Structure 1
Amino acid sequence: MHQMNAGRPDLNLLVVFDAIGRTGSVTLAAERLSLSQPAVSHALNRFRDLMDDPLFVRNGNRLEPTRHAAQMIPEVRRILEHVGSVLAPSTFDPLTASHTFRIGASDYTMISVLPALVRAVRTQAPNVRLDIQSMGETTLARLKTGDIDLTFIGADPPGGTLKSQELFRERFTGLLCARHPLAVRAGQNAVTLDDYLAFPHVMVSFRDPRQSPIDARLAALGRKRSIAVTTPNFASNVASITGTDLIMSLPSRVAANTMREDLIQFDLPLDVPDYPYSLLWHTRSDQDQAMIWLRGVAVSISQRT
Structure 2
Amino acid sequence: MDSKDFDLNSLLILHAVIECGSVTAAAKKMAMSPSSVTYAINKIRRSTMNPIFTRTKNGITPTTLALELNQRYTKAIALINDGLEFSSGCKESEVSRNIIISTYNFFEYWLCHYVTNTENRISNFCLNFVDYPISRETRISKLRNHEVDFDIGGLLPNDASIVAHKLCSSRFKALVSINHPTIHDKLTLDDWNKNKHIKWMQKSDEAMVHDGDANLVDELHNRVVAVKSTNSLNSLMICSESDYIMLVPEYLADFLKENFSVKVFDLPFETTMTSALYVHFHRSAKRKEFVNASLDTLINMVSENNKSNSSLKTETI
Instruction: Provide TM-score, normalisation by structure 1.
Output: 0.57
The within-5 A match list for 1:1-150 is 95=93, 98-119=96-117, 124=121, 127-137=124-134, 138-150=138-150
Letter in 2 for 1:291: V
Matched with 2:216 is: 220
Equivalent pair of 1:183/1:264 in contact (CA under 8 Å): no
| Offset at residue 103 of structure 1 (A) | 1.3
Equivalent pair of 1:117/1:298 in contact (CA under 8 Å): no
Equivalent pair of 2:211/2:275 in contact (CA under 8 Å): no
Q: What SS does the aligned partner of 1:167 have?
A: strand
**Cα separation, 2, equivalents of 1:118 and 1:164:** 26
Change over 3 Å in CA distance of 1:97–1:262 after alignment to 2? closer
Letter in 2 for 1:196: W
Equivalent pair of 1:106/1:135 in contact (CA under 8 Å): yes
- Post-superposition Cα deviations, 1:77-127, rounded to whole Å, max 9, x if no partner, equal xxxxxxxxxxxxxx996555532211112113113334224555x754554
Note if 1:175 corresponds to 2:175.
Answer: yes
Equivalent pair of 2:115/2:122 in contact (CA under 8 Å): no
**Cα separation, 1, equivalents of 2:90 and 2:171:** 35
**Cα separation, 2, equivalents of 1:94 and 1:299:** 22
- Post-superposition Cα deviations, 1:159-213, rounded to whole Å, max 9, x if no partner, equal 21211112222332112234545413xx13x522x43133221111222266587
Q: What SS does the aligned partner of 1:264 have?
A: strand
Report the structure number with the largest CA radius of gyration.
1
- Post-superposition Cα deviations, 1:14-66, rounded to whole Å, max 9, x if no partner, equal xxxxxxxxxxxxxxxxxxxxxxxxxxxxxxxxxxxxxxxxxxxxxxxxxxxxx
Equivalent pair of 1:175/1:266 in contact (CA under 8 Å): yes
Instruction: Provide TM-score, normalisation by structure 2.
Output: 0.55
| Offset at residue 285 of structure 1 (A) | 1.1
Change over 3 Å in CA distance of 1:209–1:252 after alignment to 2? same
Equivalent pair of 1:201/1:247 in contact (CA under 8 Å): yes
Matched with 1:75 is: none
Q: What SS does the aligned partner of 1:165 have?
A: strand
Matched with 1:203 is: 199
Matched with 2:164 is: 164
| Offset at residue 243 of structure 1 (A) | 6.1
| Offset at residue 290 of structure 1 (A) | 2.9
Q: What SS does the aligned partner of 1:256 have?
A: helix
Equivalent pair of 2:198/2:244 in contact (CA under 8 Å): yes
Aligned residue pair count: 209
Q: What SS does the aligned partner of 1:168 have?
A: strand
Change over 3 Å in CA distance of 1:290–1:191 after alignment to 2? same
**Cα separation, 2, equivalents of 1:128 and 1:279:** 18
Percent sequence identity is 15
Matched with 2:232 is: 234
Q: Which runs of 5+ in 1 are unaligned?
A: 1-90
Matched with 1:294 is: 294
